[in-house]
């Protein structure tokens, strides 16, 4: 297991809707590396395309904030219901140094598969719902900057130019 380089703003894979996982054996080695990368970068979530892998896989660990939420892996995830609204300042490993206020649903119902391909559906709220939405954005080719207000976009324009060069 090893930490992998994180793909940053300006790389085309971050703007692509990723492919679904069909071969679950093929991701057995990927997931531990994703966790290593996330921990190395001090993140709480990581989508596969953030390490250059074109697959619908995400890992999340918010156990530091909620001991009832163990480290989790979600494959072929899809948000099927949303409710409520809350804003939170978010950062992103693929857009280092940039923080923006993002409004997201307070609660989500999420359908996904586990590492064995079994199907699940669960309701999430709070920080877990926020992180799921953030990582699903990645897997759908969106970044936190796409949620930024015009004022925030103006404020971070210089940082984005430096990241893209």
pLDDT one-digit tens code per residue, 84-119: 999 999 999 999 999 999 999 999 999 999 999 999
Q: Tell me, what's the pLDDT at 143?
A: 97
Q: Tell me, what's the pLDDT at 68?
A: 82
Give me the sign of the Cα torsion angle 83, 87, 89, 94.
Answer: positive
For 1-38, what is each residue's pLDDT tens digit?
688 899 999 999 999 999 999 999 999 999 999 999 99
Label residue 160 by pLDDT band (50, 70, 90): confident
- Domains with residue ranges and CATH for the chain: 12-164 (3.90.45.10)
The torsion defined by the Cα of 96, 34, 76 and 25, in degrees rounded to 10, comes to: 160
Q: What is the mean pLDDT of residues 43-64?
A: 97
- Which are the catalytic amino acids? 135
Residues β-bridged to residue 128: none
């Amino acid at each position: 297991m090893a930490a992998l380089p994180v793909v940053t703003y300006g790389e085309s894979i971050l703007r692509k809707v990723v492919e679904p996982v069909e071969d679950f054996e093929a991701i057995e080695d990927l997931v531990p590396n994703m966790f290593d990368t996330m921990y190395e970068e001090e993140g709480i979530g990581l989508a596969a395309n953030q390490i250059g892998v074109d697959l619908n896989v995400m890992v999340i660990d918010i156990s530091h904030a909620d001991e009832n939420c163990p480290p989790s892996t979600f494959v072929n995830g899809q948000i099927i219901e949303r409710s409520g609204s809350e804003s939170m300042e978010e950062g992103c490993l693929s857009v280092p140094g940039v923080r923006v206020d993002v409004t997201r649903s307070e609660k989500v119902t999420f359908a996904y598969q586990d590492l064995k391909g079994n199907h699940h559906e669960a309701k999430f709220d709070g920080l877990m719902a926020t992180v799921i939405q953030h990582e699903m954005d990645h897997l759908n080719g969106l970044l936190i900057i796409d949620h930024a207000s015009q004022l925030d976009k103006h404020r971070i324009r210089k940082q984005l130019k430096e990241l893209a060069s």
